[in-house]
Structure 1
């Protein structure tokens, strides 16, 4: 396992972190999953107040006789922002009690997704003051934030200089937050990439076309390797639902033996020498880009975001991104999964669906590629709409 410095926290985190949101079927499943992760070399465990009994189950592990010494692992938990600082102080104590620990290594303010939620934090005597008081008392070591918000809001939050790390969505198939990665590095913040397997494209169950394009790697392995080739990124979350998933599938497809301290291996599981890995990633990247361009032709959206704002509040770039992936790489399952969350997940995944388009034409003059955006929005809706979905932990 490789370990990297988590920004100015100076914590040395494993390049993979266990997210505990999914291993909630029973206390025993949670305990065996946590134990397996630690045995694999993972030293960073992530939970949240809103993840059902996740904190409680992690606390059972920390209090068990088989737990590794507390100082050998790092815990991140997440609490939502609130205008009530007393509530925040109470939540911190409740999380400590559930976790059965005296301190939390990293507290992330969960879901700075809107300007209002950021204002609750930065206003004088806001909820951040309760977190900072807990930090002074030794209950919390480092403060960061997670976000599903717009890039501009994320940059504003980073610019406050209040946070030592950020939990961020950023993947090969969605690179919109590249400027946030750059600014986080400038501010010496740790960067924790959340859900690279699932939100990154459901890459644990890829379509055949995408598998072929990513050879000799799997799509999941390619995404992991592409992310970890960026030294500004500290760690990636693995949302295992059981210990078995840390032995096969999502976990083993990542090619972990090529990322860690076994770099002296002559050949990896896919027959690629470590020194040739970056060249392999670059070849796959070029192949994917060429295929997308050749397949979509003049209908390809380059994700410039100049089409926004939309009078009907349609999330045009995201809708067209999902169309790019569905048409270009046959990622229909992922496209449906994400598209059906529009209008059903609030500020966690904002925007209206493509069928809300009134063909007002407001976006057309702003599109540098001269796309027929109304037509493409309707086409995406026909391809990807179906039964509505909600976020897993709701």
Structure 2
């Protein structure tokens, strides 16, 4: 296992972190998963107030005892933003009690996703007052934020200079947040990548088309290498439901060198294939089409369509598309069939895409079972 400095926190974290969103089965499973993670060299565990009984299960594991001293294990929990300090004070105390901890190494403001959330964070007497108190009395060592918000909100949150780290989405198949990565690195913030195997493309169950294009590598390996070759990124979340699910991703726990010529060539092959297959229907993700009067997240719909058409990543596309209209500010936007063909977006598209027609096609391809957040 390799370790990297988590920005200005100066914590040296394992390049894979144990995420606890999925290990909700029972406390015994949690104990076994944590033990396995520690055996494999993980020294950072991330949970959240909103992850079911995850904090409680972790607290039970602490009581039983772990194989490493507390001083060598870094714990992050995440708490949603609130408009008042009293709620945050209560949330911090409750999390510490459930986790059976005297202090948190890192507290993440969980889901700083909207401009309203940012206003709460910046307000005098708001939730950050309680966070500052907890830092001053030693209950919290470092503070950051997690986000599923738009790029502009993420950049604005980074520019508040309140935070020492950021948890965000960024993968080979989703590079929209590259400017946020650059800004966070410029400010010496720790950078934590959320769920690269799952949100990054369901790469643990890739379609045959994608597997063939990635040879001699696996799609999962390539995405990990894309991220870990970037020295600005500190750690990647791995979220096993069982201890056994740690084995495959942690094969790459030492794969943090620069991209090899063979890997670069494979990424070029993926890019060329997408361009060839999509032709004049490829969306380049410039976001000029927004805002949409019907609140359709056109670029994200087209990103999912790009992947479905080019790489047969339809299963992933349906999984994410099903979140529209079901996940609130965690995955905002209406489904593509809401398009009224008003034409507002057409003159703004530099590629002259027939956006209404492509939205209809995307909906037909991707509209499967509606989804929701696992813990929502």
Which sits farther off after the overlay, 185-194 or 53-62?
53-62
Determine the structure 1 residue equivalent to 2:84. Answer: 84
Distance in 1, matches of 2:23 and 2:32, equals 9
**Secondary structure of the structure 2 residue equivalent to 1:163:** coil
Displacement after TM superposition at 1:257 (Å): 4.2
**Secondary structure of the structure 2 residue equivalent to 1:191:** strand
Displacement after TM superposition at 1:217 (Å): 1.1
Displacement after TM superposition at 1:387 (Å): 2.2
The alignment's TM-score, normalised by the length of structure 1, stands at 0.94
CA distances 1:201-249 after superposition (whole Å, capped 9, x unpaired): 000000001011111111001000110100000000001001011124x
**How many residue pairs were aligned?**
376
The alignment's TM-score, normalised by the length of structure 2, stands at 0.98
Q: Which runs of 4+ in 1 moved over 3 A?
A: none
CA distances 1:324-371 after superposition (whole Å, capped 9, x unpaired): 000000000000000011011010000111101111111011101000
Q: How does 1:109-128 map to 2 (within 5 A)?
A: 109-128=109-128
Determine the structure 1 residue equivalent to 2:318. Answer: 336
CA distances 1:52-92 after superposition (whole Å, capped 9, x unpaired): 11111111222223442101110010000011211110110
Q: How does 1:250-269 map to 2 (within 5 A)?
A: 251-252=249-250, 254-259=251-256
The 8 Å contact of residues 38 and 67 in structure 2, kept in 1 or not, is answered as: no
Determine the structure 2 residue equivalent to 1:28. Answer: 28
1:316 equivalent in alignment to 2:316? no
Which sits farther off after the overlay, 315-324 or 57-66?
57-66
Determine the structure 2 residue equivalent to 1:281. Answer: 263
1:385 equivalent in alignment to 2:367? yes
Uncovered stretches (5+) of structure 2, i.e. residues with no partner: none
**Secondary structure of the structure 2 residue equivalent to 1:258:** coil
RMSD in angstroms over aligned alpha carbons? 1.1
Q: How does 1:151-190 map to 2 (within 5 A)?
A: 151-190=151-190
Uncovered stretches (5+) of structure 1, i.e. residues with no partner: 260-273
Give the 3 Å change call, closer, same or farther, for CA 66–8 of structure 1 in structure 2. Answer: closer
The 8 Å contact of residues 195 and 236 in structure 1, kept in 2 or not, is answered as: yes
Determine the structure 1 residue equivalent to 2:9. Answer: 9
CA distances 1:156-192 after superposition (whole Å, capped 9, x unpaired): 0000000000001000000000000000011110000
| 1:306 maps to which of 280, 288, 303 | 288
Distance in 1, matches of 2:312 and 2:368, equals 17
